[in-house]
Amino acid sequence: MSGRWLGSLLSLLASVLLSAGAVQAQTAPTTATATFAGGCFWCVESDFDKIPGVLSTTSGYIGGTTANPTYQQVSRNGTGHAEAVEIVFDPAKVSYATLVEKFWRTIDPTTKDRQFCDTGNPYRTAIFTHDAAQAEVVKRSLAALEKSKPFKEPIVTEVVAATKFYPAEDYHQDYYLKNPIRYKYYRTSCGRDARLAQLWGPAKN
């Protein structure tokens, strides 16, 4: 009897531990968010959608004072928002530090209130951090970049705490997929990739 009782107790204990592990696995965070402003949000979406571990990208507006801004309001420099992209990613597959390093090399961090052919405060570059851990990652990344950057100009990209993010209008989402010809023409004529090659060297696949 005692042996069977002990076996039952051990079986029950194992079941409890397995259930606890399952609950912990379900409640543990499996995604994280990064928010970057890098000029035209169509281009930022396109660049980050290619990265394994990125689950979704959403174009939108952040860093301003007007609630529920429209594209027309933002583009007229009237709200203080920047065009930005909110990135949801799987930290088990890609780290926040990796995304930050990718971000630097998809922008011109030397220009204030402008990216390539787009001018004005909405096109400023910025990293919007979501917690102290992200802020520390960006701090270290920026310090390293200041020492290793392959250009002489100072880095003027803002690093600020994230505020409320407003998704942009539907026609802006996945624009590069919905309108590939127009998107490619815009990106080429705007000189984005040419300037990036000038700053960082040839793109690495």
By annotation, the residues acting in catalysis are 40
With beta carbons less than 8 A apart as the criterion, state whether 47 and 113 touch. Answer: no
CA atoms within 13 A on the CB side of 129: 17
With beta carbons less than 8 A apart as the criterion, state whether 37 and 125 touch. Answer: yes
- N-term to C-term CA, the chain: 67
85: helix, strand or coil: strand
Instruction: Write the CB contacts of 113 (distance below 8 Å, at least 6 apart in sequence).
Output: 119, 120, 121, 123, 124
Distance between alpha carbon 131 and the CA centroid of its chain, in Å?
A: 14
